[in-house]
Every structure is written in C-alpha cells, then in structure tokens.
Amino acid sequence: MVQADMARKILVLGTGGTIAGTSSVAGANVGYTAGQIGVQQLLAAVPGLAQAAGGNLEAEQIAQIDSKDMDFAVWASLAQRCAAHLADPRVGGIVITHGTDTLEETAWLLHSLLDASKPVVLTCAMRPATALVPDGPQNLLDAVVLATEPSARGVLMVAAGVIHGAREVSKVHPLRLDAFASGDAGPLGWMDAGLVRWAHGRAPQPATPPHAALLPGLGAAAWPRVEVIMSHAGADGALVDWLVDKGVQGIVVAATGNGTLHQTLETALARAVAAGVAVRVASRCAEGRMLDIRNAPWRDAGGLSPVKARISLMLELMHRP
C-alpha cells in the first residue's frame, strides 16, 4: 500500500549524453565529451528539482555513454529497469537522461515494449553541463514536472519546452537548442512556466505495446541483424546482395518520396525476399506519411522513420522461433 500523504517516487535513470557532458574549455558549447557526469550530480545541480518531484526523487545510473554508441545491452537493461520501476506502486513516473543523437530510437523501443500507464519521459541537452548557459538543467526540471503530471502517460520526450511523442519525434537539427520536431503531427504539448499544456487540450493515451512479451528475455536475446539502406540516384543492388550473403535477417529501405525504389534496387530486394529476408519500406522524406504499399513483396513501415522501422522489424523478428 502506498501512503496517501506521500508523493509517489520519481526515478531518474541516467544513460549519459551531452546533458552529462563536460568540456575542458570553459563555457564551450561544442568539442566536449558526452556522458561524464553522474546522474546523481546532475540532479544536485538543479535547484528545486526535488520539490518538483514532491520531495521523492531517486536516481539510478544505467549507462554513461555518448548515445551514438547506444547498443542492445544498454537498451535491454534500460527497458528492463523501466519495467521493474513501472510495476512498483511507489513509483509515479520515470525520467531518462539520454543523448540527443539516438534518443528517438530509444523512445520508440521503450514505447514498443513498456506497458506505460505511468509517464516515462526522456530528456537531453544540446549543450554540455559545463556550457556558459547549459540547457540540460531546465530540460531536466521540465521532465520531472512532466513525470509528476497526473494526466501524463506513456513514453514522452521533452526538450526546449516542447513535449513530443515516441512515434513522431526525431532530431532535426545538429546544433539548435530546439533540435527536435514531430513533423506534420506537431508536438504533444508544451511546458509553460512549470505547467504542462497539452496540444488540443488533452493528454495522449498510450496504445498497448506490441512487443511487451519480449521484455523478460531481452537481455539474453540475440537481436536480429536488420540493416537500413537508402534508395537514391544511381543505387544498385550490390549492397542488398552482399547483406543477404552475410545472413542479414531484415532490410529497411529509406525509399524516395511515397515509397518508390530505384528499379535496380527493387530487383535486388525481390531477390532478398525470395531468400527469406524481411523487407520494409519507409520514406526518406522527413515529414508526412507515405501511403500504404499494396501488391508488393514487402510491407511499408507504417509511417515510421527508417531508424524506427528498423527497431520494429528487429522486435517483430524476435518473436519468430
């Protein structure tokens, strides 16, 4: 039983990133090393953070990496720790500090695995903790406030005062502080002076995660080899044939426009399907959603970006005996 007068705990899980980055050059915004400062120290640097969490804030270091180096082992332990904390009735929500570079992939993975009737909020920073004006402390505070918001559920991300959902969010700028966008769909909401304001006046409801059954075995699982390739001018099928030869199990193609493929690549992909490789077609366009593919030997990626389609295909293939 949770005591009625005690705020439920907010867990902050640290994985590294620029938010935990430092530079030896005082005040520098670039040329730093990501993943240096421990999550406990990050929390201590934000005035009012514990109060924002109702006085019940705890931290756990899951990893300390630059998120460009994200790997299956960290993903598995992060997902399993999230699941364990979400199942704890004393926990009200989870915040994950993460690098910006693969944040959208981790968000989509967690969205696909976690039964998140509580909020799981990823946050990050574009400037290191040692910058003259770092963005991490405000993002962390916003994330904790969002994690305590009673209407918030599911896997969300917040940065630069904007709340995004796991399906649509992607990093769209290499340097700007508001580096994330949700394309045509737009953001889910905003942080207005410490208050959550949902777009359209209501909080989004998370769908049932399609791959929750994989969670218990995720640490020991062999992740299927799924590669992302691109259709472009002058593309040929050599890379596809090579991947098939190397035993690839899935290929996601970042296709042109509305899912079109260079004809030579298309022929090679048909050979790959005939050899038992799962192929999914996503659009390389940054915005919009391509129409469903019909009458082809492959499926479309359901509107996912190529990197998120790769995660979905890996998880889908993991169910196969």
Residues that bind ligand SIN (CB under 6 A): 16-18, 34, 66-68, 99-101, 124, 126
Of the two residues 67 and 112, which places its CB atom closer to ligand SIN in the complex?
A: 67
Of the two residues 134 and 259, which places its CB atom closer to ligand SIN in the complex?
A: 134
Q: Which of 18, 97, 100, 106 is catalytic?
A: 18
**Residue recorded with tokens 């490789």:** 277
The values of phi and psi at residue 312, to 5°, are -60, -40
Is residue 22 helix, strand or coil? strand
Q: Give pairs for 255-259: CB < 8 Å, separation 24+.
A: 255/231, 255/281, 255/282, 255/283, 255/284, 255/290, 256/231, 256/232, 256/283, 256/284, 257/283, 257/285, 257/290, 258/283, 258/290, 258/291, 259/283, 259/290, 259/291, 259/293, 259/300
Q: How far is the CB of 35 from ligand SIN (least distance, A)?
A: 6
**Residue recorded with tokens 């693969």:** 102
Of the two residues 131 and 279, which places its CB atom closer to ligand SIN in the complex?
A: 131
Token couple for 263:
């004809």
Of the two residues 20 and 253, which places its CB atom closer to ligand SIN in the complex?
A: 20
Q: How far is the CB of 63 from ligand SIN (least distance, A)?
A: 10
The values of phi and psi at residue 97, to 5°, are -90, 130
Among this protein's residues, is 100 annotated catalytic? Answer: no
Q: How far is the CB of 68 from ligand SIN (least distance, A)?
A: 6
Q: How far is the CB of 124 from ligand SIN (least distance, A)?
A: 5
H or E stretch covering 247? none
Of the two residues 164 and 280, which places its CB atom closer to ligand SIN in the complex?
A: 164
Helix axes 103-113, 306-318, angle to 10 degrees: 40
Q: How far is the CB of 126 from ligand SIN (least distance, A)?
A: 5
- Residues with catalytic roles: 18
